[in-house]
Amino acid sequence: YQNFQKIILDELDKNQIDYEVNGTLEGKVSHHVLNLWLKGVGTYSALTNLDLSGYAVSGGSACTAGSLTPSHVLQAMYGEDSPRIEESIRISFGRFNTEEEIQEFAADLVKMCKRLAK
């Protein structure tokens, strides 16, 4: 899954998308999840656009899946007033995902960010 994370991050970097990883990718972390702050792209807009493109991503933690409530994890990490709270998505990878699917997702994520970023 680390390779999946790298594919997405490399594509964002290559296209100069303004983002930051929420949390860390170092050490003992779950590499099947990538949480990104997409600067200037509202969480709800990102979720809607990605859903319309056929992707299921989340704006919160796994325990609040299906809810539009801001991530309590991000609030605890960065504070309730952080722009990360309203501009982050959580991407989860499954064991049946392929590298080609992740490359396609990364390209669509870039297109969406370019279209929606304030």
Instruction: Give the DSSP letter string of 67-114.
Output: --SPPHHHHHHH-TT-GGGGSEEEEE--TT--HHHHHHHHHHHHHHHH
Beta bridge partners of 90: 35, 58
Residue type, 25: L
User: Which DSSP state fits 63?
Assistant: G
Catalytic residue list contains 63: yes
Beta bridge partners of 21: 36
> Per the residue annotation, which of 16, 63, 76, 81 is the catalytic one?
63
**Which residues are part of the catalytic machinery?**
63
